[in-house]
C-alpha cells in the first residue's frame, strides 16, 4: 500500500508517450556520462584523496592481473569454478577494476593494449562458459548474482571499453544482460532491487543503442506498468521501501537505511545523473520525496561519515563492507545528484555541502578510502569552496522502524528495538550468525574519544550474550531464524523540541526465557536507562548489560568510585568483580557511568577472540578467517537465576570527564520518580519524561491510556508548556490525558489530531486531552499552552539558579544569574516541605539543594517543578494498575520548588511480570539478497 501524499504525478507517467526518440548523439552523450560515473570527471589531479584513490586502484588492478591463472574452469584460482554465480560475478567485478585502471589517465595501465586484450579475452571466456543469453539459472544459485550483481559490473566494463569492442561483442553483452534480468513487471520488485535492475537495463540499452531498453529501465523506476504502485519515487505505508518519518525497510520487516537504502539511492542517483541531459531525464517533481529523505532518513543515521550499525542489517557481519564503506557510497550518491543539471541549484549546493561534511567528519581518511569517482567529486567540491553542512544535533525518532537516534556535538547514540511489526535481526545466506539480541534494546554509543569503536573488529569479537542495553538470560540460543519478529507490540517513543527523546521497549526474548520493561531518556549530556519487571524462565542468570566496550588498541584507563583498576594493554589477566556499593565508574575511552539505584554491579575485563568467518559463511567473505583478539570491558547487573522483579537504573555520560561523572553521581541533576512495570519516569529542568505502560499519574498529569509522553516548559524564557505524546504500540485508536495544572492557560498551538475539553466552561487549568492516534504509526503529537504565571520577563518568575543549556546548536550559552525579586510568587507545587531525594528501593534521606552540571552544558540545573504528586495521586495510580501482586517495587515522586523547597510522596506498586505466550512471525528465507 502506498502513501496517498506521495503518489507519482500522473503527468510524469503520461509524459512517457511524449518522449522524443534518442539520436546517435544522445547515445554518445549517455555513454560519456556513464563513463564519468565510473572513472570520475577527468580533471587535474591536485588532491591527496585523488592520488591515494588512483594509487589504490592501479595497485589493486596490477595485483589482479598478476594473480590471473586462466584455465578451462576459471580465470582466478580462488574463484573456481567459474560456473558458480558468485565466482563469475566476482570475476566481472575484478575485470571492472582492471578496466577502470585502463581507462583513467595517470594510471599505470592507461590504454595499455595488453591489459585491453586481457580484459576482452576474459569476457569472451565467461560468456562461452556460463554467462550468456542462453544460460539457465541453476537451482540453489542466488538470483541476485544473475539479475543485478553481474549485469551492473558488465555494463560498466562494456562502456569503459566501448570503442575497443566489436559491434557483435557489444550486442552479445547487451543481450546477455537483458536475458538474465528478465521480466521487470513483477509487483515484488521494489526499493533497492528495482533501482539496481532498472539501472542495469538502462545500461544495456546504452551499450547497444537500443532505445527500447533505455525506455523500459527509465519507466520501470516509476513503475508505469502498475500506475506507480511500486515507484521508487514515492513513500510506502507497508512492505519494502521508504516511509514517511524517515524509516527505510527492506525484506518487509528489517530497518535498512544504512544498507539497502543507501544502495537504492546510489543506483537512483546514477540513473538521474546519466539520463539528466537526455529525453528520458527523470522529472524533478518525482524526485521531491528523494530530496526530503536525505535529511529525514540518511543524515540522522550517520556519525562521523559512517553509517551506524543499527540500520545495516546483516551487513555488519561483512569485513569488506564496514560502516565507512556505506558512508562513502552515500557520499557518492550525493555527488551524482549534485552533478545532474536537472536537479535544482539549491539542492545541488546542499548535496555538495553535505558531502563535504561527511568527508571532513571521517575519523581516519584512509579507514575505507574514497574510490576514484568519489575522490574526483570531492576535489571539485573543495575547489568550489562549498562549506560543509552542519551535523545533525538532537533526537530523531523513526517509529516505523523502531529506531531512535540522538546526536550531540561530541557523541551520538542509536537504539535498536523490535516489535510484532519489526524483525529482531536479519540473518540470511549464512550471514550474521550471532544476532540474537540485536533488536532487543541494543544501545550503540559513538564518541569522539574512541571514534572507531565499532570499526575495530567489534562484530566477530563482541560477546553476543552481553549486548549493551539488553536484558537477557545466559542460556545458549538456537541458530538464528529468518524474518523473526518480536513477541510484543510496545517499541518506540518520541522526541521533544528536537533536543530530548524518550524510548520504551516491552522486551521478551526470542525463546521467551527473559523479559523486562525498559525505558531510555536521551538528554543533552547523558542517557538515563531504567528497567523494571526483569524476569526469567530459562533456569539461568538474567543479566542487564550496561556496557560491553571494545577497548582501543592503545588501551584505556578505568576507575570505580575514583579508584583506578589495572588495565594493562597487550597482555591482561582477566578479572571479574561484583561491587555491592558503587556510585560511579569512568572509562577514559568512553566517559562516565553512574549507578542510580546503588545496587550491586559486576565488572569484567577480558580478552576475546574471534574470526569474521565465525559470523559470516557466505562465499564472498570466507577469505576473512584470520584469528582476531580484542580487549573488552563489560559492566552488567546480575538479576539472579529466574528473577521475578529485577530492576536497574543507571546513567551513561558519553565524553564526560571523570570529575563531571563524580559530580553527577554525588548529586544527580535528574530525579527518577518512578521505575515500576507500570510506569517509568524521570524529572529534570521543569521537564517530565515518562512511559506509562498502563494508566497512571505524575504530578498534575494523569494518563488514562498507555503512552510515551514528555512535557515541560518551552519557548523563549519558558513562556509555554508543551506536551508531546505517542503510541509506541501502534495499536491504539486514541490516547486520553487529564491535566489539572493551575499554570495551564490558553492554547498556543495544537495538531489536528488533538481535541481539548476544558473542565469548567471558560476557565483554564483543568483540561482533558484526547489524541487520535489511529493509523499514525507511532508519530509524535504535540500541543502547547500559555503559562499563566509567565509575565513577560524572566525576572518576574519565581527565582531559580542560573542555567547553562545547550539546545539545538553546538554553541554553549550561559544565562547570567538573575536577582531574586522582592516578592516571590506562589510555588508551582502544593506544599513547602524539606527537600528530600528518595532512591529506588531505599529509604529517604535529606540532601542539600544545589546546582550540578555535566560536560559542556548542564543536564539538569534545578528549576521550579512542573508539579509534585500528592498521596492521593499515588493511590490513584495504584488503583489504575492491573495484574497480580507479588513483592514490592517502590517508586518515588519528588519535585523541587522555587529553588529551595520540595515535597516527596511515595507510592508502592507491585506485580509479577511473567513472559507472555504470544508467538512470533516466521517465514522462509527468499533466494535473493
Task: Quote the number of domains for the chain.
Answer: 2
- 347 and 434 fall within a common domain: no
Domain's final residue, options 665, 694, 729: 665
Neighbour-count burial of 594, counting CB atoms closer than 10 A to its CB (0-12 exposed, 13-18 middle, 19+ buried): buried
- 288 and 423 fall within a common domain: no
Q: How far apart are CA 756 and CA 664, in angstroms?
A: 39
Q: How far apart are CA 424 and CA 441, in angstroms?
A: 10
**Cis amide bond preceding 793, omega within 30:** no
Query: HEC states along 874-926?
Result: HHHHHHHCCCCCCCCEEEEEEEEECCCEEEEEEEEECCCCCCCCCCCCCCCCC
**Which positions ≥6 away from 168 have C-beta within 8 Å?**
none
Backbone angles phi, psi at 126, to 5 degrees: -65, -40
Chain center to CA of 22: 42
What's the confidence (pLDDT) of residue 846? 34
What's the confidence (pLDDT) of residue 791? 57
Three-state secondary-structure class, residue 54? helix
- 649 and 516 fall within a common domain: yes
Confidence (pTM): 0.84
**Which positions ≥6 away from 39 have C-beta within 8 Å?**
100, 103, 104, 160, 372, 373
Q: Which of 729, 778, 733 is nearest to 243 (CA)?
A: 778
DSSP class of residue 147 equals: I
DSSP state string for 283-318: PTTTTHHHHHHIIIIIGGGEETTEE-GGGSGGGGG-
Q: Which of 652, 717, 724, 642 is nearest to 691 (CA)?
A: 724
Indicate whether 541 belongs to any domain.
Answer: yes
Domain's final residue, options 359, 390, 421: 390
Measured over the CA atoms of residue 378, residue 380, residue 385 and residue 386, the dihedral's sign is: negative
Count of CB atoms within 10 A of residue 575's CB? 12
Q: How far apart are CA 24 and CA 21, in angstroms?
A: 10
**Number of residues that make up the chain:** 929
Indicate whether 363 belongs to any domain.
Answer: yes
Indicate whether 489 belongs to any domain.
Answer: yes
Neighbour-count burial of 581, counting CB atoms closer than 10 A to its CB (0-12 exposed, 13-18 middle, 19+ buried): exposed
DSSP class of residue 323 equals: H
Alpha helices by DSSP H, listed for 672-735, are none
Residue 406: give its domain's CATH number: 2.70.98.10
Is-contact 312 355, C-beta < 8 A? no
What's the confidence (pLDDT) of residue 366? 57
Q: How far apart are CA 324 and CA 365, in angstroms?
A: 10
Residue 377: give its domain's CATH number: 1.50.10.100
- 384 and 403 fall within a common domain: no
Backbone angles phi, psi at 79, to 5 degrees: -120, 55
| Alpha-carbon torsion angle 789, 793, 797, 803, nearest 10 | 130
CA distances to 400, 672, 685, 789, 903 from 897, in Å = 39, 16, 11, 14, 8
Q: How far apart are CA 739 and CA 737, in angstroms?
A: 7
Indicate whether 150 belongs to any domain.
Answer: no
Q: Which domain holds residue 648?
A: 394-665
CA distances to 70, 103, 314, 573 from 161, in Å = 21, 8, 35, 58
Q: In what order do the strands lie in the sheet with 248-250?
A: 241-242, 248-250, 254-255
Indicate whether 43 belongs to any domain.
Answer: no
Q: How far apart are CA 902 and CA 907, in angstroms?
A: 17
Mean per-residue pLDDT pooled into runs of 10, the chain (929 residues) = 43 54 95 95 81 93 97 95 96 98 94 97 96 90 95 98 97 97 86 96 97 96 89 90 94 96 97 96 92 94 95 96 94 96 94 95 73 92 94 95 97 98 95 97 97 95 98 95 93 90 97 97 97 96 98 89 77 82 95 95 95 95 94 97 97 97 96 97 94 94 96 90 96 95 90 89 77 95 92 41 33 30 32 31 34 36 40 37 34 30 32 37 40
Indicate whether 637 belongs to any domain.
Answer: yes
Domain's final residue, options 346, 369, 390: 390
What does the block give as the cell for 395?
A: 533526537
Q: How far apart are CA 64 and CA 724, in angstroms?
A: 58
- 418 and 284 fall within a common domain: no
What does the block give as the cell for 349?
A: 549546493
| Alpha-carbon torsion angle 813, 814, 820, 821, nearest 10 | -30
- 310 and 434 fall within a common domain: no
- 293 and 247 fall within a common domain: yes
What's the confidence (pLDDT) of residue 694? 93
Q: In what order do the strands lie in the sheet with 403-407?
A: 394-398, 403-407, 411-416, 442-447
CA atoms within 13 A on the CB side of 359: 26
What's the confidence (pLDDT) of residue 226? 84
Indicate whether 842 belongs to any domain.
Answer: no
CA atoms within 13 A on the CB side of 27: 19
- 516 and 382 fall within a common domain: no
Three-state secondary-structure class, residue 671? strand
What does the block give as the cell for 823?
A: 516578592
User: Which bin fits 375, alpha (ψ -120 to 50), beta or left (φ > 0)?
Assistant: alpha
- 500 and 620 fall within a common domain: yes
Q: How far apart are CA 34 and CA 25, in angstroms?
A: 14
Measured over the CA atoms of residue 858, residue 864, residue 865 and residue 866, the dihedral's sign is: negative
- 349 and 432 fall within a common domain: no
- 556 and 655 fall within a common domain: yes
- 289 and 407 fall within a common domain: no
Q: In what order do the strands lie in the sheet with 734-740?
A: 696-698, 701-703, 734-740, 766-772, 754-758
Indicate whether 687 belongs to any domain.
Answer: no
Amino acid at each position: 500500500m502506498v502513501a496517498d501524499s506521495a503518489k507519482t504525478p500522473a503527468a510524469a507517467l503520461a509524459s512517457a508517450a511524449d518522449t522524443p526518440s534518442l539520436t546517435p548523439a544522445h547515445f554518445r552523450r549517455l555513454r560519456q556520462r556513464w563513463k564519468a560515473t565510473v572513472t570520475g570527471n577527468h580533471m587535474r589531479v591536485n588532491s591527496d584523496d585523488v592520488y591515494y584513490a588512483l594509487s589504490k586502484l592501479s595497485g589493486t588492478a596490477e595485483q589482479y592481473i598478476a594473480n590471473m591463472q586462466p584455465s578451462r574452469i576459471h580465470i582466478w584460482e580462488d574463484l573456481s569454478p567459474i560456473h558458480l554465480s558468485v565466482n563469475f560475478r566476482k570475476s566481472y567485478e575484478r575485470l571492472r577494476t582492471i578496466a577502470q585502471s585502463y581507462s583513467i589517465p595517470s594510471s599505470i595501465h592507461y590504454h595499455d593494449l595488453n591489459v585491453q586484450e586481457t580484459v576482452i579475452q576474459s569476457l569472451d571466456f565467461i560468456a562461452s562458459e556460463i554467462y550468456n543469453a542462453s544460460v539457465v539459472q541453476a537451482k540453489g544459485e542466488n538470483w541476485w548474482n544473475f539479475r543485478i550483481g553481474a549485469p551492473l559490473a558488465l555494463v560498466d566494463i562494456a562502456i569503459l571499453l566501448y570503442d575497443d569492442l566489436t559491434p557483435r561483442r557489444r550486442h552479445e553483452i547487451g543481450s546477455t544482460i537483458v536475458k538474465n534480468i528478465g521480466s521487470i513487471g513483477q509487483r515484488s520488485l521494489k526499493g533497492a532491487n528495482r533501482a539496481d535492475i532498472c539501472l542495469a537495463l538502462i545500461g544495456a540499452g546504452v551499450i547497444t543503442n537500443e532505445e527500447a531498453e533505455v525506455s523500459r529501465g527509465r519507466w520501470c523506476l516509476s513503475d508505469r506498468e502498475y500506475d506507480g504502485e511500486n515507484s521508487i519515487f514515492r513513500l510506502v505505508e507497508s512492505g519494502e521501501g521508504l516511509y514517511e518519518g524517515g524509516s527505510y525497510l527492506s525484506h518487509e520487516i528489517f530497518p535498512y537505511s544504512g544498507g539497502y537504502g543507501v544502495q537504492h539511492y546510489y543506483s537512483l542517483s546514477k540513473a538521474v545523473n546519466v539520463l539528466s541531459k537526455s529525453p528520458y531525464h527523470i522529472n524533478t517533481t518525482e524526485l521531491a520525496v528523494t530530496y526530503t529523505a536525505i535529511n529525514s532518513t540518511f543524515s540522522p543515521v550517520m556519525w562521523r561519515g559512517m553509517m551506524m550499525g543499527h540500520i545495516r542489517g546483516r551487513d555488519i557481519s561483512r569485513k569488506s563492507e564496514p560502516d565507512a564503506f556505506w558512508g562513502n557510497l552515500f557520499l557518492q550518491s550525493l555527488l551524482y545528484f549534485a552533478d545532474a543539471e536537472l536537479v535544482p541549484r539549491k539542492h545541488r549546493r546542499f548535496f555538495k555541502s553535505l558531502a563535504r561534511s561527511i568527508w571532513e567528519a571521517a575519523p581516519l581518511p584512509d579507514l575505507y578510502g574514497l574510490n576514484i569517482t568519489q575522490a574526483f567529486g570531492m576535489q571539485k567540491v573543495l575547489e568550489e569552496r562549498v562549506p560543509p553542512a552542519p551535523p545533525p544535533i538532537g533526537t530523531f525518532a523513526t517509529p516505523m522502524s523502531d529506531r531512535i537516534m540522538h546526536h550531540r556535538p561530541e557523541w551520538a547514540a542509536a537504539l535498536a528495538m523490535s516489535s510484532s511489526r519489526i524483525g529482531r535481526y536479519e540473518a540470511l545466506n549464512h550471514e550474521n550468525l550471532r544476532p540474537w539480541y540485536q533488536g532487543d534494546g541494543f544501545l550503540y554509543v559513538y564518541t569522539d574519544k574512541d571514534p572507531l569503536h565499532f570499526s575495530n573488529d567489534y562484530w566477530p569479537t563482541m560477546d553476543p550474550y552481553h549486548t549493551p542495553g539488553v536484558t537477557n538470560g545466559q542460556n545458549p540460543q538456537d541458530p538464528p531464524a529468518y524474518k523473526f519478529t518480536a513477541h510484543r507490540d510496545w517499541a518506540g517513543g518520541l522526541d521533544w523540541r528536537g533536543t530530548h527523546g524518550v524510548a520504551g521497549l516491552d522486551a521478551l526474548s526470542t525463546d521467551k526465557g527473559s523479559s523486562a520493561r525498559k525505558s531510555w531518556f536521551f538528554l543533552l549530556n547523558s542517557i538515563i536507562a531504567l528497567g523494571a519487571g526483569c524476569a526469567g524462565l530459562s533456569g539461568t542468570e538474567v543479566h542487564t548489560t550496561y556496557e560491553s566496550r571494545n577497548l582501543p588498541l592503545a588501551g584505556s584507563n578505568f576507575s570505580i568510585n575514583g579508584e583506578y583498576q589495572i588495565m594493562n594493554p597487550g597482555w591482561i589477566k582477566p578479572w571479574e568483580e561484583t561491587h555491592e556499593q558503587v556510585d560511579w565508574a569512568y572509562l577514559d575511552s568512553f566517559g562516565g557511568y553512574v549507578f542510580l539505584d546503588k545496587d550491586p554491579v559486576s565488572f569484567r575485563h577480558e580478552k576475546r577472540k574471534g574470526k569474521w568467518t565465525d559470523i559470516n559463511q557466505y562465499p564472498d567473505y570466507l577469505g576473512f578467517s584470520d584469528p582476531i583478539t580484542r580487549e573488552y570491558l563489560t559492566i552488567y547487573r546480575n538479576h539472579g537465576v529466574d528473577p521475578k522483579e529485577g530492576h536497574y537504573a543507571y546513567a551513561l555520560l558519553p565524553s564526560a570527564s571523570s570529575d563531571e561523572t563524580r559530580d553527577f553521581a554525588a548529586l544527580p541533576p535528574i530525579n527518577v520518580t518512578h521505575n515500576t512495570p507500570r510506569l517509568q519516569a524521570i524529572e529534570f529542568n521543569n521537564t517530565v519524561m515518562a512511559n506509562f505502560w498502563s494508566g497512571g499519574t505524575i504530578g498534575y498529569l494523569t494518563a488514562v491510556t498507555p503512552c510515551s509522553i514528555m512535557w515541560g516548559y518551552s519557548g523563549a524564557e519558558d513562556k509555554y508548556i508543551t506536551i508531546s505524546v505517542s503510541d509506541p504500540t501502534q495499536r491504539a485508536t486514541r490516547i486520553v490525558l487529564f491535566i489539572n495544572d493551575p499554570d495551564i492557560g490558553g492554547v498556543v498551538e495544537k495538531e489536528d489530531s488533538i481535541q481539548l475539553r476544558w473542565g469548567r466552561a471558560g476557565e483554564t487549568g483543568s483540561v482533558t486531552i484526547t489524541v487520535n492516534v489511529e493509523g499514525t504509526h507511532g508519530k509524535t503529537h504535540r500541543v502547547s499552552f500559555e503559562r499563566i504565571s509567565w509575565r513577560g520577563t524572566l525576572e518576574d518568575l519565581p527565582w531559580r539558579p542560573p542555567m547553562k543549556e545547550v539546545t539545538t546548536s553546538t554553541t554553549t550559552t550561559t544565562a547570567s544569574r538573575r536577582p531574586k525579586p522582592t516578592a516571590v510568587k506562589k510555588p508551582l507545587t502544593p506544599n513547602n516541605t524539606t527537600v528530600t531525594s528518595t532512591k529506588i528501593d531505599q529509604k529517604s534521606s535529606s540532601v542539600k539543594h544545589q546546582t550540578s552540571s555535566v560536560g559542556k552544558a548542564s543536564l539538569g540545573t534545578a528549576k521550579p517543578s512542573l508539579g509534585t504528586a500528592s498521596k492521593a495521586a499515588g493511590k490513584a495510580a495504584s488503583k489504575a494498575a492491573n495484574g497480580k501482586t507479588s513483592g514490592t517495587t517502590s517508586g518515588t515522586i519528588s519535585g523541587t520548588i522555587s529553588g529551595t523547597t520540595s515535597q516527596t510522596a511515595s507510592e508502592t506498586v507491585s506485580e509479577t511480570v511473567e513472559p507472555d505466550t504470544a508467538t512470533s512471525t516466521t517465514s522462509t528465507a527468499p533466494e535473493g539478497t
